[in-house]
Amino acid sequence: MDVHARRHTIWHDPGDKAGGDKVRVYEDLASQLDGLLTGQTDFIATLANAAAAIYHGLPSLNWAGFYLLRGADLVLGPFQGKPACVRIPMGKGVCGTSAARRRSVLVPDVHAFPGHIACDTASQSELVVPLVRGETLIGVLDLDSPLLARFDAQDQAGCEALVAIIVRHLASDAAV
Ligand code: SME
């Protein structure tokens, strides 16, 4: 792709040029995500593009998306991957556990996590990061991988940085 073509492209896969360096993948993805979300304030559009950017920007994922707090439950939001369970009670599964604790939950082997909710049988490991603005829980970002132990502390830190960018952009949507 020449430089003029790239200038008019809103997305390129960070892994294409990061040479497998995980920190650089996250730095590049964060920068692209920030640009992608700048200039529009729609809640659904922000989360939909964020899910697509993360799904296509990180290797070895089979699902990436959001569950959003609706009353006492988490309800399926914008995502990429196979159709998923719609409603997760607070405190249940990996997503509900992360939401209840308001902390990231890193699961190297989903089969070893008590109460794991299997939406896609291909999933072997999972990382969930809560979206919190001030005192308000918005929902969670959920990433699934078909590889065991796909996620480590670098992924957790990288995804927490991505979520901070997403929450900052959601803050400009008065409808949230
Ligand atoms: N595994 C999640 C459910 C959501 S799907 O992975 C998309 C959980 O245990 O909360």
Q: Is the pLDDT of residue 172 over 80?
A: no
Ligand 1 center to residue 143 CA distance, Å? 9
Exposed/middle/buried for residue 136 (C-beta within 10 Å: 0-12, 13-18, 19+): exposed
Ligand 1 center to residue 35 CA distance, Å? 29
Ligand 1 center to residue 39 CA distance, Å? 31
62 and 82 in contact (C-beta within 8 Å)? yes
- Predicted confidence at residue 4, as pLDDT, reads 46
- Predicted confidence at residue 148, as pLDDT, reads 97
Average pLDDT estimate for 107-133: 95
Q: Which residues contact 123 (CB under 8 A, 6 or more apart)?
A: 62, 63, 110, 144, 145, 146
Mean pLDDT, the chain, whole residue set = 90
Task: For residue range 150-167, list pLDDT tens digits in order.
Answer: 999 999 999 999 999 999
- Predicted confidence at residue 5, as pLDDT, reads 46
Instruction: Name the pTM for this structure.
Output: 0.90
Residue nearest to ligand 1 atom 3, measured at CA: 117
Higher pLDDT, 102 or 120: 102
Backbone angles phi, psi at 163, to 5 degrees: -65, -35
Report, in this order, helix, strand and coil percent for the chain, each rounded to 5.
Answer: 40, 25, 35
Closest ligand 1 atom to the C-alpha of 96? 10
Closest ligand 1 atom to the C-alpha of 79? 7
Task: For residue range 39-93, list pLDDT tens digits in order.
Answer: 988 999 999 999 999 999 999 999 999 999 999 999 999 999 999 999 999 999 9
Q: Is the pLDDT of residue 19 over 60?
A: no
Q: Any idea which fold 3-170 has?
A: Beta-Lactamase (3.30.450)
Residue nearest to ligand 1 atom 1, measured at CA: 117
* Domain spans in the chain, listed from the N-terminal domain onward: 3-170
- Predicted confidence at residue 58, as pLDDT, reads 97
Closest ligand 1 atom to the C-alpha of 81? 7
- Predicted confidence at residue 14, as pLDDT, reads 61
Dihedral sign, Cα of residue 155, residue 42, residue 56, residue 73:
positive
- Predicted confidence at residue 40, as pLDDT, reads 84
Closest CA to 78 of 98, 52, 100, 116: 52
Higher pLDDT, 10 or 175: 10
Radius of gyration, alpha carbons of the chain:
16
Q: Is the pLDDT of residue 141 over 60?
A: yes
DSSP 49: H
Ligand 1 site residues (CB inside 6 A) read: 63, 84-85, 88, 93-96, 116-117, 119, 123, 126, 142, 144
